[in-house]
Every structure is written in structure tokens, then in C-alpha cells.
A and B are shown apart, each in its own frame.
Chain A
Amino acid sequence: MNTPSFSRRNFLKVTVSAAGGLMVGFTLPTPLQAAMGEAGEINAWLTIDPDNIVSIVTPQTEMGQGAWTSIPMMVAEELDVPWENVRSVRADANRHVNNAELYTTTSTGGSTTVSRRHPYMMQAGASARERLRVAASNRWGVPLDKVVAKQGYLSTEHEEQGMLQGTYGEFAADAVAVTLEKEPTIKAYGDWWLLGTDVKRVDVASKTNGSAVYPIDVTVEGMVYAAVQACPVPEGKLVSFDFEAVKGMPGVIAAVELKQVKDVPAFTDLRSAVAIVAESWFQAKNALAVMPIVWDFGRGATISFESQTAEALSLLAAPGTLVKDEDGNIGKGMDKGVNHDAVPDLLAASTKLVTGEVYSRPFEAHATMMPPCAVADVKADRVDVWTFTQDIGRSLNEVADQLGRDTKAVFLHQTQLGGGFGGGYNMDVHRQAAAISAAVGKPVKVIRSREEDIAQDSQRPPVWGTYKAALGEDGLPVALLTHFVGEEKMPAFAQRGVANLPYLIPNRRHENSLVQNHVPIGYHRAPGANSNGFIVEQMVDELAQAGGWDPLEWRIKLTEGMEPWQRVLQAMKAKSGWTTDMGDGEGMGCAVVESHGTIAGCVATVSVSRRGQIFVDKLQYFINSGYVINPLNAREQAESSAIWELSHAMFGGLQVRDGRIVNTNFDSYPMMRMPDTPPEIEVNLEMSEDQWWGGLGEPTGPPTPPAVANALFYATGTRVRTTPLSKAEL
């Protein structure tokens, strides 16, 4: 499907690496440049050393999703080099930022590292391979078509000298001088030897002996530690603090005010906060905890989740604003030809009207296992930063902006992340570290306490939604009105997967309303789809039931002719052992949601004890993401997203009272643990004949909670319309 097109005017830039080997930079136009017909800048690099070791650069960050493995795999596929010869190395953020975004983007999110970036990664490998062939052809004096490049070796059958062979490394220096007349075409699916096979992620061993380095592990000579507190009510500001009261405490060095420039800060602006700097983080945290601080809480102080819910319910009682399909996140097979205008009259005239109740999902935090942390070493002529970020380039720019420095003097070093899930985007921890280091004149490590992390996170927004449908004679909907309430900061999240509903309903209308909200909002693993899927896919079950349809058959019927959806749904029917009649206390439920270009279906099997305790016995996934370059990692990601979202659905939910997040650590904001984990998780990769590149880091999350909730309905007869499910009366 959306394979980015690129100009054949691409060209290569070459230099000799420090080790004397070949460095290949492959250029691709940015979308803007492509539109203008101009060649772009270099966006990927590889080096081949004389000992035949290939180092492949990763501009994307590693947060457990496998970017440091997937990127080298895509390059090595084309280069045709043994996987054991490949080294995964980090991109230089400074070089990226100061060379017109050398790597096109360093952003790491939206499940795009493979799905969107494979063309230029693979092209870099193909270019290097072809130039090595030309180098060998020249040295051996044989025609180019007689030179074979395979598994790190160049070879030819020479007319006089017989079989000649050499490593890529032996020809790397020659290849530097080679200019290709035209770029090779990258391989198509079916010609792959490495892509499509199970490859273990390259960083696993570093994570079994404590040697993997996260920002929290970085130490710099002379480094001190800082604990920070931002206003407990987001958007509020610091009025005053009394450092005198704590400056005599052990180890305490300084207090630093972090100034918020705007009334309502943008996502990555520095927020109003105060820091204590000490010789140890424990000392800084202790002093900060007892330092008297006066805040101006601002407008948020009167907002609570309850007040937002009340506002949402009143908004749902009246018509909302019509959202057109084009405004949603249009998905595969989307039928754009639906009629919005006829819906109100059809509902009013219906003799088989289904009126939905209100569904909702609460705020959720990222709560990455590593609390946000950054180290900054601000010197007069140079700034070094290590931070929790999903975009090294953007964060480098933010540090430069914070300090008023030239980006050329800022060096941001890529580390492991300790989880990301979208939380590494809207983050001001590196601004904090930079500002504090500049203020105290020493390198500083900022560590957020878990309480500060959850209180100040850019949260996943809540959503409230309901619907009305008119059913036809066949029990299928002829008209559907959905009305979802989101919040004001990122309103589009409340439309994803709803405005662009896949089901073929001839008359359909989606309305949107917004509640007031001061809580920062951010991307959160399958944003929008994660919460909306819970509502939409339970609505579907209710509509199917009202019309006398089996819920899986209903989905199959209303996606007729849409091959990618049919592939998933038919697999669910054929392989899951599907039934809605398992007997008392047990149930099976299904749901299917598209996100990130991937259609993911889930069949959940649950049992409920007499006391109402929920056991998720089995989760089965049927995923159509198009091409899969590493089935092992695909399965791992599928399980990971599933557990992530089941965790929120079962146990999560942030409480907001008097404007502040109340449950800010794992005692009050519980997570799924091993005993709660379904004993069986099955992942089926159902690749469509209509092949494309979809993402795999997120899509199994969204269908999981509705599949479980639908299963709970068949187990108990009770429909649970909000989360956490563990608090439902069953």
C-alpha cells in the first residue's frame, strides 16, 4: 500500500571511514523535496571495515521494540552480508540536526521504523552492494555481470585465473571511489533471505547482565543529582519556595527554579518546577520533600475526573459536532461513501432503534519502568546530554532552545530507553537537566521520582462515547450515529477508529464534543484506537445481538469485499474455536481494530469466579500487517502490546482530584503482574495477499479490552462499559 515513492535522482555520498573502510550514505528526498523534484540529503549510513565487519547506523531509538535489530536487518538484506558480521551502531544526533536532517527523521513512534522507513534503509544496502561489485569488476577486469556479491564475498569465474574471491572488506576502499550510473532497485518480497526469518534482537544479552546503559546509568565526572517537582496541578506555576529551610540538610547544594515561559506550555516546553541539587539523589529527594513551596494552581484546581465526566455526560445528551471521514485516521478498506445527512431522520423514523448507553475510558499514564531521567553536562563551549527520548534530533533541538545555544555545540547521546510507549515524545526532562546544569555549573543527573513521573506525565486522554442505530429487516444497521467526547488538547484521539469505522453501514454520522482539560496529553501506544476500540467493538456486539446476529458473523458480513479484514475475521472463525456459548461463568469474545496500517483481531476466553473475579484464560491474535520482516519479534511485540493494554483495562485508571493526579505510584496505580497474565497467548500472523507494510508495535492493544469485555458479557450477562474491569460488579 503506502510504499513511499522516491526519486531516481538519489545519489550516494562516500567518505573513507576512520578504519579505512567504505562509508556509504544514501540520499533520499524528504517529502517536501520530493514534491519539489529535488534530491534530498543523506539519511542512512553503513561502514564496511577491512575485516569485513559491517556497522549499520540506527537513527531510531531502542525501547524494547527492536529498532536496533530491524534497521540493520533491512540494510543487511540488500548488502547480502552474514548477520553475524553486522554491528548495530548509533546515529549521531548532532550530525543529523546540523546536516539538514541527515537521516530524514530520528522520530521513533507510530510503529513506523519498518513500515515507513524500509525503502531508504534497503536502498542503502543495495547501493553499497552494487558499488562493491563494480570495484571487484574493475580490479579483476571482468564484466560487472560476472561478479557475484553474496554473504560478504565477491566472486567471479575468471577466464584465465579461474575462480576469484574476496571479502567485501577487501574491496571497501576501492568501492569508495565508485559512482553508480544508476541506483539498483530494492528487492521485492519473495527474494529475501534474511528478512522474514526469526532473528533474535541484538541487545538481549546486554539486558541479562546489567550492562545495557539507560540515561539513569550515565555518570559524568563531578556529576551531582537533582530531584524535581513541578506544580502538582498541571499548568500551575511556582510562586515561592524556602530554600533556607532545607539548605543545611546533608548533601544539599542548591535549589533551582525552572521557569515556564508560557501560561499553557506546549508539550515539550519546560514546565514551572523547582529542583533541589545534592550530592546524592536520595538527599535531593529528601530535601525537596520537606522544602516549603507555594504554588498558584491555576484553572486546573477546579477540574477533576468526576467534573469532566459530568461535563461529558451533559455534552452527550445534546448533538455534537459532525466529524467527516476525512478528518479521521482513514484506514484500509474504508468506505468513504457513507451518507452523514440522512442519519437523524432515519433514526427518528426507525421502528428498530438501538440506543446505546455511555461507555468511557479514563486517563492512563505511561509509567515506563525507567522513570524519566536525563543527564546534562553544560559547559561554556559544549553541551552533552543523555535523556529519555523517542526522538534524539528533536530533543537535541529542545536542549539548544532551552540554553540558547547553537545546535552545533549540543551533543545528545542515544542510550537504551527503559520503555517508551509514546512517553518519550512529550518530555521536558532534558530541558530540566540542561537548565539545572547551567545554573549550578556542574554536570547533573535528574531523576524523576515515580510519583513525579506519573503526576507530570503526558497522559493518555479519557474518552466517553455512545451511539444510536436503526436496524433494517435483516437485523443489520441501516443508520448509525456515534457521539464521542474527547478533551481539548488532542481532540483527534477521540475520532480514531470511530470516524473511520470499517463497517459498511450506508448511513453513518460521527459527532464529537470536548471537555475542558488541563492535564497534559501525549501519545500512548496506539493513541485513540486504544480507548475507542473498547467502545466501538462492544457497540458492535450490542448491535449484532440486537439484530440477532452472531458477533463474529456480523463483522464478517459488514466487511464483505474487504480482503484484509476478511483474512483476519475468517481466520478468527476458522482457528479460534469460536463460540458464544461456553456455559455459565465462561465466555469467549472477539474484537477487531485497525491501527498503524495493521488489522488486529483478538479472541479472548475468560472465566469469572462466583465472587466476580475475572480470569483471562486465553488470548488469541490474528494479525494482518502485510509484510513481516522478523516473525519472532513480531510475536513478541504482539504479546507486549496485548499485555500493555490488558493491564490498563484490568487495573488502570488515573484519578484526578482538585486538578492533580492522585494515584501516582504502583501501589495505587496497579499494573498487570505475572499471576494476572493469561496463561496462553497465541499469535497468528495472517499476511494478506494484498501485501503492504503495516506496523507491529501497537496494534494488538486496541482489540484486547473489548474482546475481554465481550467475553465477560457472554460469561455473566453483564456488559461492562468502563475500565478498570477488575472493579466491575459481576
Chain B
Amino acid sequence: MAITLNINGQDHTIDADPQMPLLWAIREKAGLSGTKFGCGIAQCGACTVIIDGNAVRSCNTPLATAAGKAIRTIEGLSADNDHPVQKAWQELTVPQCGYCQSGQIMSAVALLEQSPDPTDNEIDKAMAGNICRCGTYTRIRAAIHRAAEMSKT
């Protein structure tokens, strides 16, 4: 069945099972590999994308429910890797293995769009769905504050 997905402002017509998780359509069909597979049950957040402004786990979002909505992935954040969150991540050398970081960044972007200057508690709550096995949490927290600061100026 053909489904049209709007990813990063571009329409992709995808012929797939409407129950197929959005993650696999983004990766295998649209060819955008920045969004990662981590657990398949919405527990780790590696697959986080932003749909209509909200951070969503694409690994258990059926393709059909994403049709017609604005889907943003890590690739759509900026052309030059210079979104304030990306810049803050680079400045504080947040990523280690880096595998979870697309998801972490998308969760952080969604948070900052809704709450431009979040408290530590807000950050903890918004980021609780994203696991980092390298344990970069303290730098993620600091980088979110840094991105908030950069966005103000």
C-alpha cells in the first residue's frame, strides 16, 4: 500500500505495510539512517523523531499514523550541523559512541521548542525516555542548558 510521508519537508511515497513501524520506513525506504534502532519497544529513545512538534518513538509508531504529518529527523535539523542543540553538543563534546545521540538531540529539540529555558527537573523528565549506555547524561543536561542560552542570544 502506498503511503505518503512528509519527512523534513519532503514528501516520500512509500509502498509498505501500514503497520510497519515508521522507523523502518525512514531508514530503509526513505534512506535516512540517522534515526536509530535500539529496542523496538519504545524504551530506549534511539529512534526518536519529532512529529507535529512532539518527540515520538518511531520504532513503535505505525506508518499509517504518521501519514500526512510533519516528521522531522536528525537530518532535517540543519543543513550545516549548526542548530543550537547541535552546536551545544559539539561544544561540550557530548557524544561518545554516538549511537543514541540522534534520539537524544531530537528529544532535546522538542523540549526546547516547548520550553525554551528548561529547569533540570524539566530536562530530566523530557529526557527520561532516552538511554545512553556511554553515560553522557551529565553532558547532555549541560548541553541543553547551553543550547537554551545560545538560542536566547
- A residues with a Cβ closer than 8 A to B are 63-65, 200-201, 203-214, 216-217, 219, 225, 250, 280-283, 367-371, 416-421, 447, 449-450, 632, 636, 639-644, 647, 665-667, 671-675, 677, 679, 681
How many positions in chain B have a CB within 8 Å of any CB in the partner chain? 59
Shortest C-beta distance, B30 to chain A (Å), equals 12
Find chain B residues with CB under 8 A from A367 CB: 133
Pairs A-B, 5 closest by C-beta atoms: A210-B34, A643-B135, A64-B96, A207-B98, A64-B97
| Contact indicator A419/B39 (Cβ below 8 Å) | no
Inter-subunit contact A64/B95 (CB<8 Å): yes
- Residues of chain A within 8 A of B94, CB atoms compared: 204, 208
Q: Are A674 and B133 in contact (CB under 8 A)?
A: no
Q: Is B120 an interface residue (CB 8 A)?
A: yes
Q: Which residue of B lies closest to A419 (CB)?
A: B97
* Interface residue B90 (Cβ < 8 Å from any Cβ of A): yes
Given contacts A674-B128, A675-B124, contact A208 B81 (CB under 8 A): yes
Q: Are A208 and B24 in contact (CB under 8 A)?
A: no
* Residue among A208, A213, A643, A674 making CB contact with B95, cutoff 8 Å: A208
Verify B38–A369 contact, CB threshold 8 A.
yes
Chain A to chain B contacts (Cβ below 8 Å), 7 pairs: A64-B134, A209-B77, A210-B75, A368-B97, A368-B133, A636-B139, A673-B137
Residues of chain A with a CB closer than 8 A to B78's CB: 209
Count A/B pairs, Cβ under 8 Å.
175
Measured CB to CB, the residues of B under 8 A from A are 16-17, 20-21, 24, 28, 31-41, 43-44, 46, 73-75, 77-78, 81, 86, 89-90, 93-102, 105, 120, 123-125, 127-141
What is the CB-to-nearest-CB distance from B104 to chain A, in angstroms, rounded to a whole number? Answer: 9
Q: Specify which of B33, B37, B41, B140 is in contact with A371 (CB 8 Å cutoff).
A: B37
Tell me how far the C-beta of A203 lies from the nearest C-beta in chain B, rounded to whole angstroms.
7
A457 → chain B closest CB, angstroms: 13
With A419-B134, A674-B124 as contacts: A204 and B95 at CB distance below 8 Å: yes
Contacts of A207 in B (CB 8 A): 89, 95, 98, 101
Of B31, B32, B137, which one neighbours A677 at CB under 8 angstroms? B137
Are B35 and A210 neighbours in the complex by a CB distance under 8 Å? Answer: yes
- With A64-B98, A210-B75: A640-B44 Cβ-Cβ less than 8 Å: no
B41 touches A636 (CB 8 A): no
Residues of chain A with a CB closer than 8 A to B89's CB: 204, 207-208
Instruction: Evaluate contact between A282 and B24: CB separation under 8 angstroms.
Output: yes
* Alpha-carbon distance between A465 and B139 when the two chains are bound, in angstroms: 36
- For the complex, give the distance between the alpha carbons of A75 and B146 in Å: 33
Q: Which single residue of chain B is at the shortest CB-CB distance from A217?
A: B33
In the assembly, what is the distance between CA of A217 and CA of B74, in Å? 14
Most buried by B among A210, A216, A416: A210
Inter-chain CA distance A209–B94, complex, in Å, is 13
- Whether A208 touches B90, Cβ cut-off 8 Å, given contacts A64-B96, A369-B100, is yes
Q: How far is the CA of A639 from the CA of B96 in the complex (A)?
A: 11
Residues of A close to B127: CB separation below 8 A: 673-674
Chain B residues with Cβ below 8 Å from A65 are 96
B73 neighbours in A (Cβ, 8 Å): 210
Closest Cβ–Cβ distance, residue A58 to chain B (whole Å) = 15
Given the known inter-chain contacts A200-B93, A370-B36, please indicate yes or no for A673 contacting B81, CB distance below 8 A: no
Q: Report B111 CB to chain A, min CB distance, Å.
A: 11
Please, how many angstroms separate the alpha-carbon atoms of A679 and B137 in the complex? 10
